[in-house]
């Protein structure tokens, strides 16, 4: 058995043994709780900042998150045309705590999004980013535990999400003028 499958089985075998753990996994793994929390943090970042400079930095981070999501999801979509990996429940004996998604298991789209938020927040507020990274790791663990992803799926998703933010941020000469233009337009329209 390969290490990816072995680690998946090790985590998924706990399903049904500790009821509070199953309840927590169901609460975290769903399509609403974590994405909603991440979105609310981004909204809070957009509208907060003690100084104009801090507010602008936060708003740039939100633009960075949005661009990171856009490009990471485009990359994942392109990867799905090249490589389709069946979900664990399609090939393994699994104790499933979630519905059966039909898209490729590799890489994890929700985890890429979660780590895009965390990495983008890093550029504005490190404490918030640490909280989001912890939430992203809990989300990733819950998705493996619940039987919808292999460990390598969530690792690849995390790397793609955070990596895309890093690449965009490193392209400052493109990103900063674009972000500043978006922020200026939002402020003129009273959205910031």
What pLDDT is recorded for position 55?
Answer: 95
What pLDDT is recorded for position 143?
Answer: 96
Burial tier of 23 (Cβ tally within 10 Å: 0-12, 13-18, 19+): exposed
Report yes or no: 129 and 111 within 8 Å, Cβ to Cβ: no
Q: Domain coordinates of the chain in residue numbers?
A: 18-188
| CA distances, 38 to each of 46, 76, 119 (Å) | 12, 20, 12
pTM summary value: 0.94
Give the homologous superfamily in CATH for domain 18-188.
Answer: Phosphatidic acid phosphatase type 2/haloperoxidase (1.20.144.10)
Cβ neighbours around 176 below 10 Å, total: 14
What pLDDT is recorded for position 190?
Answer: 87
Q: What is the DSSP letter of 95?
A: -
Is 48 strand, coil or helix?
A: coil
- Residue 167, φ and ψ in degrees, nearest 5: -60, -45
Residues 156-178 have pLDDT tens digits of 999 999 999 999 999 989 999 99
């Amino acid at each position: 058995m390969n290490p990816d499958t072995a680690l998946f089985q090790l985590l998924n075998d706990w399903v049904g043994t500790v009821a509070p753990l199953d309840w927590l996994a169901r609460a975290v793994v769903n399509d609403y709780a974590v994405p909603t929390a991440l979105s609310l943090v981004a909204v809070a970042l957009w509208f907060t900042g003690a100084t104009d400079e801090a507010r602008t930095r936060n708003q740039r981070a939100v633009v960075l998150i949005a661009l990171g999501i856009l490009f990471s999801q485009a990359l994942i979509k392109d990867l799905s045309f090249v490589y389709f990996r069946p979900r664990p429940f399609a090939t393994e004996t699994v104790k499933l705590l979630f519905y059966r998604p039909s898209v490729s298991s590799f890489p994890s789209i929700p985890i890429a999004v979660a780590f895009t938020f965390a990495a983008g927040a890093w550029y504005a507020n490190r404490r918030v980013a640490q909280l989001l990274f912890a939430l992203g790791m809990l989300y990733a663990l819950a998705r493996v535990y619940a039987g919808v992803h292999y460990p390598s799926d969530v690792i690849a998703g995390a790397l793609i999400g955070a990596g895309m933010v890093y690449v965009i941020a490193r392209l400052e000469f493109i990103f900063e003028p674009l972000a500043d233009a978006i922020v200026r337009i939002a402020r003129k329209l009273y959205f910031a």
